[in-house]
Amino acid sequence: MPTVHVVVPAGIDDPARPSGGNRYDRRLCDGLAATGWAVREHAAPGAWPRPGRTDLRRLAGTMAAVPDDAVVVVDGLIGSAAAPVLGPEAARLRLVVLVHMPFLAPVGDERAALAHARAVVTTSLWTCDRLVADHDLPPERVHVASPGVDVGDPAPGTDDGGRLLCVAAVVPHKGQDVLVAALAQVAGSSWHCTVVGPLDRDPVFVERLRRAVGRSGIGDRVAFAGPEDGDALRREFSRADLLVAPSRLEAYGMAAAEALAVGLPVVASAVGGLPEALGRTRLGVPGLLVPPGDPGALRAALSAWLDDRDLRGRLRRAALARRETLAGWDSTTARVAAVLAAVSDRSGLVAR
């Protein structure tokens, strides 16, 4: 039985702090275990991706306890910020870094950290291409394993399409301020928007959002539901008509894929990996793409959705068609497993 050691953030299963990266890590670990891998999880506490000295010391101790020549997958939130720890272990261990989101600002030394990895796994082609370009990584060492989905029963939807849903941590780069500014301009239409996601990551931003909602007179139509996961989140998708993903940056867009898995169309920023997550069907794109950070463009897209019954019907049909083509988590697991098997084999790596 092959063995893989996986270094994950502490609190990976904390229901109060759900994230796409945590869900990916959990599904990957469970999937590898189900397909015959012996998975040894190691939680790494700390202020990742900005670790203190104590955090790095703890991680170094964890890595030192892993047997020689072992295959070790390190979540990128940790690994991309831990070059001083990965460097001394690179010759002894078969390191793989799983990058959910490339660093966009000077946080640690991502370039040096990834140079120590025998392979890098990314969750989107956009992230893969960015890492290769930004860090001069050999393309054959960087691999894509997009998040899978659990395809569910199609959401029934409503006649007027007014149940809007946004699923993301409430932080600036997720763009909920752009969404609120856009909704303030379509207040005359019949709609209600539920914002699902942790509210404790940036309390100043959340308070600013709440004030903007109040000033705009839409306080009774925008609900901040806080973090939800599992069955609760699935119920939100099943009650919605449209997912709105107004991110300024998104490496892939797991919420968009999860919406499409129940036939929900998506209005999203044309940024990062979001267009990749939406994909395209024989009926066209299963949603509308708008420039990031542009409340006017988002307002126009939402107004078109709410006011045009024919458009809603076309996008719903496209979303249902996309639902039929989405890959499950078994596909994600198989892609990562192939990389791990190649890393453990001295003959070389699988093709990108």
State the DSSP code for 92: T
Residue range of the domain that includes 170: 163-323
**Average pLDDT of the chain, as a whole number:** 95
Q: Is residue 153 part of a domain?
A: no
- Whether residues 76 and 125 share a domain: the answer is yes
Residue 69 and residue 135 in one domain: yes
d(CA 168, CA 18): 9
Would residue 104 count as lying in a domain? Answer: yes
251 and 212 within one domain: yes
DSSP string, 24-65: HHHHHHHHHHHTT-EEEEEEE-SSTTS--HHHHHHHHHHHHT
Give the global pTM: 0.93
- pLDDT tens digit sequence for 49-93: 999 999 999 999 999 999 999 999 999 999 999 999 999 999 999
For residue 256, CA distances in Å to 126, 143, 162 come to 16, 22, 18
Q: Residue 11: which residues within 8 A CB-CB, separation 6 or more? A: 17, 22, 43
Same domain, 13 and 125: yes
Greatest CA separation found in the chain?
A: 65
Q: What is the CATH number of the domain that holds 318?
A: 3.40.50.2000
Determine the Cα angle at 168 with ends 134 and 150, to 5°.
95
Report the C-alpha gap between 140 and 61 in whole angstroms: 31
Residues 119 and 216 in one domain: no
Asked if the model's pLDDT at residue 106 lies above 60, the reply is no
Q: Give how many domains the chain has, as a whole number.
A: 2
* pLDDT tens digit sequence for 110-134: 999 999 999 999 999 999 999 999 9
pLDDT of residue 349: 46
- How does pLDDT run across 298-345, given as a tens digit for each residue? 999 999 999 999 999 999 999 999 999 999 999 999 999 999 999 998
- What average pLDDT score do residues 251-278 get? 97
152, 258 Cβ separation under 8 angstroms: no
> What's the gap between Cα 258 and its chain centre?
11
User: Cβ of 310: how many Cβ atoms within 10 Å?
Assistant: 7
Same domain, 44 and 114: yes
